[in-house]
Amino acid sequence: MKSMINAIVTEELTRIFKTYVLKGYYESGWEHGGVFLYNIWKRLRAEKTMVQALKGINLRVREGEFVFLVGPNGSGKTTLIRILATFLLPTSGKAFVAGYDVTHQKREVLKNISYIPSLLAGAAWAHVGLTVGENLKIMARLFGYSEKTLDEALRTLEIEDLKNRVFGSLSTGQQARVVLALGMIKNAPIFLLDEPTLGLSPEAVRIVLDYLKYLNEKMKVTILYATHHLMEAQKMADRVVFLKDGTILVDGDPKSIIRSVGITETIILEIHHAYFDIGKVLHEIEDRCIFTNAELLESETGEYVVKLGVKDSGEVLPEIIHKLVSRGSRIKNVKVLEPSLEDAFMYYARRGPGSAEIQGNS
């Protein structure tokens, strides 16, 4: 293996998709279909629009790092990972994986990565009538992977007992673990994972994450892991990169990111019968809050969850309760919690671009 200092480097990475939007066919959330839908719309030849998916991403993931890539729907996570996995070309900019250029050295890049878009979808390659062991052997031969590590992979993922089971009889979580075992026998130094745990049970998610931690710590595998699980990121990640609208808004370790926002407490109020302009009420206390947010749960019953990031809850809480109750709403629940990564991202998402690179000192 080529020696690496920077496992992944991108400079000014940009991706612009041309889309052809036909009235009536456009649905929000279609991006989950990705490239496939792009082709269909292209053939329909209608009005032309451009989607700027990545806007000059600069990212450096060093060898041995475990980086969580997070961000709302459509922020560019999949596009970024697909470029690194050589399935999409950048429109401009450069990207290197294990020192190889994704545009000109595709084969070398592919040798160095395990790209896992979804553990559930990954099970599609398997022959349902054959056993797990037989399936893995076939795949190992097909891709030229060593079979020596096969038993070790099964042991690590706690699925040794499944080796002689017919693949088609396994639960979805068990199938997902078999797919991970395949990624492991490839023995690649870099794993690119795009929401691999989507659709898995919490127990299966835990096993996958424990396994990734093992790969990273014991086998020194570099991991870039796109996910929506912010609690997992907060608990496990050494480094989190937060993408929004194709731009990196914040990059650092969870504790430092949370600290950088300056919140010491998060107040969460669940209220109902709020038939007035909550935004206006929050505006009145804005100067004492680091961020404010109200989420409507049910308009008929006037149910909201109000979140306030504050330095001192004692200073804000009595006043906000008074303001809400005096306007006729009822308080269902009040919590004062330690701030979370989600709160910090809410703050950075509001603040917009001007990316913050946070130096970890926790």
List of residues contacting Mg ion (CB under 5 A): 77-78
CB of 78 to ligand ATP, least distance (A): 3
Tell which positions 187-226 bind ligand ATP, by CB under 6 A.
Answer: none
State which residue, 15 or 77, has the beta carbon closest to Mg ion.
Answer: 77
Nearest Cα neighbor of 112 from 65, 76, 63, 157 is: 63
CB of 66 to ligand ATP, least distance (A): 19
DSSP single-letter state for residue 273: -
Partners of 330 in the beta sheet? 272
CA 258 to chain centre: 18
State which residue, 75 or 329, has the beta carbon closest to Mg ion.
Answer: 75
Q: Residue 105: is it exposed, middle or buried by C-beta count within 10 angstroms (0-12/13-18/19+)?
A: middle
75 interface partner picked from Mg ion, ligand ATP, none, CB below 5 to 8 A per type? ligand ATP
CA 356, CA 362: separation in Å to the nearest integer?
A: 17
Phi, then psi, of 127 in degrees rounded to 5: -90, 115
State which residue, 28 or 361, has the beta carbon closest to ligand ATP.
Answer: 28
How big is the site for ligand ATP, counted in residues (CB under 6 A)? 16
Tell which positions 321-340 bind ligand ATP, by CB under 6 A.
Answer: none
Partners of 57 in the beta sheet? 13
CB of 205 to ligand ATP, least distance (A): 16
Tell which positions 36-95 bind ligand ATP, by CB under 6 A.
Answer: 38, 51, 53, 71, 73-79
CB of 282 to ligand ATP, least distance (A): 28
- 47-62, strands of its sheet edge to edge: 47-62, 6-21, 92-97, 100-101
Helix, strand, or coil here: 101?
A: strand
The answer to whether residues 321 and 279 touch, using CB atoms and an 8 Å cutoff, is no
Applying CB under 6 A, does 34 fall inside the site for ligand ATP? yes
CB of 37 to Mg ion, least distance (A): 14
Identified binder of ligand ATP from the candidate list 6, 14, 20, 31, rule CB under 6 A: 31
Binding site for ligand ATP (CB under 6 A): 17, 19, 31, 34-35, 38, 51, 53, 71, 73-79
